[in-house]
Amino acid sequence: MLSVEIKMSDLPPQARPGAKEPKSGKKPWHYTPSLPLLVSPYFRWPPNAVAVLKWIFRGWFPVSERLIILLLSVLSWVYFHPALERCREFAPDWIAQIYLRNLALMFMVAGGLHLYFYVWRRQGDERRYDTRPLATNSPVYSPSARRCWTTCSGPAPAVCPSGLPTRH
């Protein structure tokens, strides 16, 4: 069995026992998991179906990120995708419709997250890695340039796979 010895001098100062919290009152961001790390039951031998089912149901959350993405994609396909008959011929009208749909989805998702986390500050600074405020007048980061690049180049690559003609 492999064992690793860790000396206190090897730990960063904030991870040593008795370390003081920073003046901001926020705990330092250095998560240390309990050891040994458990492997999911999918990869344990011999296979144990009960352990796999417990693992699935303990980690299952009804409204997850995957479910939200799945619902957004199905709803956008059903209600906002052009009819497949129109897509048989290469034409700018239905390609523009797909581009505008993708642009609206991008603004809805990315803009909604920006509003939630940065404008309304609903989560606060508790889980932020970098607690500094967003730069607004910086030569390195320009919000208007970022919006321009996102608007022009973000939805365009997503049009290509769904914008291919469906002729066989």
Summarize pLDDT for 125-157 with one digit per residue, the tens: 777 777 778 777 777 767 777 777 777 777 777
* Residue 1, pLDDT score: 45
Quote the pTM value.
0.57
Length reported for the chain: 168
* Cβ pair 85, 153 in contact under 8 A: no
- The most distant pair of C-alpha atoms in the chain lies apart, rounded to whole Å, by 70
Per-residue confidence in pLDDT tens, the chain, 168 aa: 445 555 555 555 555 555 555 555 556 666 677 788 777 888 888 889 998 888 877 776 667 777 788 899 999 999 999 999 998 888 999 999 998 998 999 889 888 988 998 889 888 877 777 777 877 777 776 777 777 777 777 777 767 665 555 554
Among residues 68, 141, 134, which one has the least CA distance to residue 105? 68
d(CA 95, CA 81): 10
